[in-house]
Chain A
């Protein structure tokens, strides 16, 4: 619990100006479902909060043109129940409604969701805040302090994309579905607007796991754009977790297929719950192209997605589980292709 200033600008430009003026220690806040949590854990210690929820006209959902465009302040629950999204892009709707709870989805925004931080137990529970009381080294929280998860309890840690500095999983569902559909984000900063392909929004941990996103200081995500694709209708987000609801993924797969009869002409596959960033499974996609979708090819694609995976002590099961999750997701999506 630390004092901070609070501003509630009414335009995106004013928000960026407020952020720039505040300097280091500023944070944007929208639904607050992630930032407040991290503040209570003593991980985020903002000195200035720029509340963006008073900005008008930044919560639109456009589905009529050549692309889907979700403005950043649209609530997760609104996008998840949009008629066009539900009908033509089940992968997007499912990624949203399989995340969190209805209460959280009503508050959380689709823009803020993209910047959710890891659920690594050593990251979250080791900052020494009084609510938890533990202290663990973590290169993501305290660069150079070490990684307690390596050599520790690593059942939930990543098997893809990890480095000797960090094995923390990228926790989201929504970003995984967007990566599968080649979405990009529109960003507003002090020097104007730019677009970033969603896959390039996320960094691998490497030796700087504290740097998670490629946004520049003060840059704010204003919209998410998804190019329309026929594959959307034949898509799914399949999420496997320790309980049926209200949990992060042990392994998940966003799959969208273009098919000619039973033959896959093009597959889009992205993985969640297993990697240090939303993970595009290009090898699996290549393996399937031009092949009929059978239980055998589906599982082969799943295995290909994890060909480079490396297990720790307890998380080795994620490699097999992930492969089977991909296989099941392909089967579900293909069944939608036929209907």
Chain B
């Protein structure tokens, strides 16, 4: 295992501060055309007629693409989800694109789009809320360990309650966009995506192109959060327009269209029962979860991933179901299912601890997890107890009084201290990387991975700069581009753990190659100088890195642009990252505003590769937790479908003034089994449990238990 890493600046900090970083829509192309989608204004039905005449009258409009301009859906590929639909006459949700207007200017494209008013045959009824008629319930396989029913029967103390998390949208600041260039039979897509490989595959299949014909470039992303993890519907529309017109085309989706077409976190509900034995230890969990789902959607209701890994409770029975209604497809949003499940479960644990009259930190420390009860194997590492202990120390938890409503300021402000834990699966993906050191002082590292602000370039730079005598200022890290290396979907906190071991292997291989080249000669200077001295312009190595349990089959899948993910339950162990959050809330006596003046969060992500960006990841996750607990919800008027508060003024995310001090700490102990560096994931686990800690702190402040997010002023008046 390696030593701790130093606190280096973010690899692209200067570029970003100077405004020089180039994102998807920043790519400039000569002869560019601009596109705008026309959104459907019904919630369900079919287009009866669509006239493009008025739009074509708008000066500057060149073409309007409609459903007839697209090939039928491609044949199914086994094991791969179908690419997103293009334009279809069938309308499955409000806001679905019905046409794409292409024009010489953005203004003309918008004016053209506003001139298109299709007529529709509306469906007799539609379902836009899970409480309405027309819902199709579809259970998935339960997750079980031991015998929860029998264990619950012998439990001495039980707690049972329902918890709810609303629909939410990611809202990265960078809008969804696509720029497509079709030239000499080659299609190049410039698009901020977390999955250039997915995007390439979807466009390829929709357009019937070969892999050699399509390149997707996504070097910098202005926030991913899962919204950009799958192929987007608009990509093929823009690509088709570029191919039909023989000119490059750009589309930037307006925020309201993103709300209606991007994926989102579906509404989800949790009924949880926990039983404790006479010694006050949790022995049984029965947990039923369900979630909003679209008619065809595939986002799995995996609400039983993280919770069983927190406390090693031996008897667990978890059910989950999709509730299919008429909406666009939901999808992965930061800490996708573990955020709501940890909110719900950690609220329930708090309620049970209170029922037992036990301090909630002490209660959690009674349950140290060493095994994965679901798969019956060891956890490769779990330092949750250390997170709780260190967090409690930094927070000053020993000064907390147990009784809710017992801590107040002189002006009557109620003070509450809450704690909650979180966990997130540790997965990994193979990576085929190329490392080239040049005599001219430059170095280039090409790999699978996408930079969405999380700091993947910084983690790669940390490893290369430590292992290689190179000039860090002339290090190019080429990622997010299907032409530099086979790409994967960078999500689920597997990005760093899938690339830094490969970078370390490549560095070792290059050092070995250099030693071989020098054949025992002593040559002064760094690798660049050494190469110059021996008159070699460059030295290049390639590494095919596979994760635990993986082999050539997985490399072949990666080469084809597919996902070759492994974990968190490997053949002989299970890997999770952990976090403990400690939150202080202040509840105003009169108008009941909730403030969060301070948070302490301690994470176990194995070895921390880049302390600077890791801390930033955790702060971001905590802010997401504050947003989720106190503010964010996308609202549906069931008479209309779609989303009512579809802009950043009315979908309320926290602002700087809402955020107090966030003290971040790490256990920073390498996981012994997951990879050579001992690095687990961090970006997702950062958010898990935070909302639960806020709910628990509000209860401690006020004595009022809030079980449905977001908690707003009206819930405490």
Q: Tell me whether A2 and B39 are in contact in the complex, defined as CB-CB below 8 angstroms, given that A133-B260, A250-B713 are known contacts.
A: no
Q: Tell me whether A324 and B256 are in contact in the complex, defined as CB-CB below 8 angstroms, given that A134-B41, A317-B713, A317-B717 are known contacts.
A: no
Indicate which residue in B110, B592, B654 contacts A243 across the interface (CB closer than 8 Å).
Answer: B654
Q: Does A256 touch B at the CB level, under 8 Å?
A: no
Q: Tell me whether A130 and B657 are in contact in the complex, defined as CB-CB below 8 angstroms, given that A153-B637, A327-B590 are known contacts.
A: no
Contact string against B for A residues 314-330, beta-carbon threshold 8 Å, 1 for contact and 0 otherwise: 00010011001101100
Indicate which residue in B94, B114, B255, B637 contacts A152 across the interface (CB closer than 8 Å).
Answer: B637
Contact string against B for A residues 121-159, beta-carbon threshold 8 Å, 1 for contact and 0 otherwise: 110010011111111100000000000100111000000
Q: How far is the CA of A119 from the CA of B713 in the complex (A)?
A: 20
Residues from chain B with Cβ under 8 Å of A153 in the complex: 635, 637, 644
Q: Tell me whether A128 and B591 are in contact in the complex, defined as CB-CB below 8 angstroms, given that A133-B94, A133-B257, A243-B655 are known contacts.
A: no
Contact string against B for A residues 222-247, beta-carbon threshold 8 Å, 1 for contact and 0 otherwise: 00000000000000000010111111
Q: Does A1 touch B at the CB level, under 8 Å?
A: yes
Residues from chain B with Cβ under 8 Å of A135 in the complex: 41
- B256 and A317 contact, CB distance less than 8 A: no
- B257 and A328 contact, CB distance less than 8 A: no
- A132 and B646 contact, CB distance less than 8 A: yes
- B637 and A328 contact, CB distance less than 8 A: no
Main secondary structure of the interface of A (DSSP, over half): loop
Closest beta carbon of chain B to A247's beta carbon, Å: 7
In the complex, the chain B residue whose C-beta lies closest to that of A322 is B591
- A121 and B41 contact, CB distance less than 8 A: no
- B652 and A325 contact, CB distance less than 8 A: no
Q: How many residues of chain B are within 8 Å of chain A by beta carbon?
A: 46
Q: How far is the CA of A328 from the CA of B412 in the complex (A)?
A: 13
What bracket does the count of chain A residues touching chain B fall in? Answer: 35 or more
Closest beta carbon of chain B to A6's beta carbon, Å: 14
Q: Does B471 touch A at the CB level, under 8 Å?
A: no
Q: Does A42 touch B at the CB level, under 8 Å?
A: yes
Closest beta carbon of chain A to B640's beta carbon, Å: 7
Pair count A-B, CB < 8 A:
116
Closest beta carbon of chain B to A274's beta carbon, Å: 13
Residues from chain B with Cβ under 8 Å of A131 in the complex: 110, 254-257
- A121 and B713 contact, CB distance less than 8 A: no
Closest beta carbon of chain B to A117's beta carbon, Å: 13
Q: How far is the CA of A148 from the CA of B639 in the complex (A)?
A: 9
Main secondary structure of the interface of B (DSSP, over half): loop
Q: How far is the CA of A151 from the CA of B637 in the complex (A)?
A: 10
- A324 and B41 contact, CB distance less than 8 A: no
In the complex, the chain B residue whose C-beta lies closest to that of A302 is B590
- B114 and A321 contact, CB distance less than 8 A: no
Residues from chain B with Cβ under 8 Å of A129 in the complex: 114
In the complex, the chain B residue whose C-beta lies closest to that of A156 is B650
Residues from chain A with Cβ under 8 Å of B658 in the complex: 243-245
Q: Does B188 touch A at the CB level, under 8 Å?
A: no
- B256 and A243 contact, CB distance less than 8 A: no
Contact string against B for A residues 73-86, beta-carbon threshold 8 Å, 1 for contact and 0 otherwise: 00000000000000
Q: How far is the CA of A251 from the CA of B717 in the complex (A)?
A: 13
Q: How far is the CA of A136 from the CA of B637 in the complex (A)?
A: 11
Give B533-548 interface residues, CB cut-off 8 Å to A. none
Indicate which residue in A1, A133, A242, A321 contacts B652 across the interface (CB closer than 8 Å).
Answer: A242
Q: How far is the CA of A131 from the CA of B261 in the complex (A)?
A: 12
Indicate which residue in A121, A244, A328 contacts B591 across the interface (CB closer than 8 Å).
Answer: A328
- B712 and A119 contact, CB distance less than 8 A: no
- B591 and A321 contact, CB distance less than 8 A: yes
Q: How far is the CA of A246 from the CA of B717 in the complex (A)?
A: 23
In the complex, the chain B residue whose C-beta lies closest to that of A295 is B590
Q: Tell me whether A245 and B590 are in contact in the complex, defined as CB-CB below 8 angstroms, given that A121-B650, A132-B646 are known contacts.
A: no
Give 8 new A-B contacts, CB below 8 A, not counting A134-B640, A135-B41.
A42-B114, A125-B646, A130-B36, A131-B255, A131-B256, A133-B256, A152-B639, A244-B658
Q: List 23 A-B contacts (CB under 8 A).
A: A1-B107, A2-B114, A121-B645, A121-B650, A131-B257, A132-B256, A133-B39, A133-B40, A133-B95, A133-B257, A134-B95, A134-B256, A134-B644, A134-B646, A135-B41, A148-B637, A152-B637, A243-B655, A244-B658, A246-B657, A317-B714, A324-B591, A325-B590
The 6 closest A-B pairs by CB, nearest first: A133-B39, A132-B256, A317-B714, A244-B657, A131-B254, A1-B110
Q: Which residues of A contact B (CB under 8 A)?
A: 1-2, 42, 119, 121-122, 125, 128-136, 148, 151-153, 240, 242-248, 250-251, 317, 320-321, 324-325, 327-328
Q: Which residues of B contact A (CB under 8 A)?
A: 36-41, 94-95, 107-108, 110-111, 113-114, 254-257, 260, 590-593, 595, 631, 635, 637, 639-640, 642, 644-647, 649-650, 652, 654-658, 712-714, 717
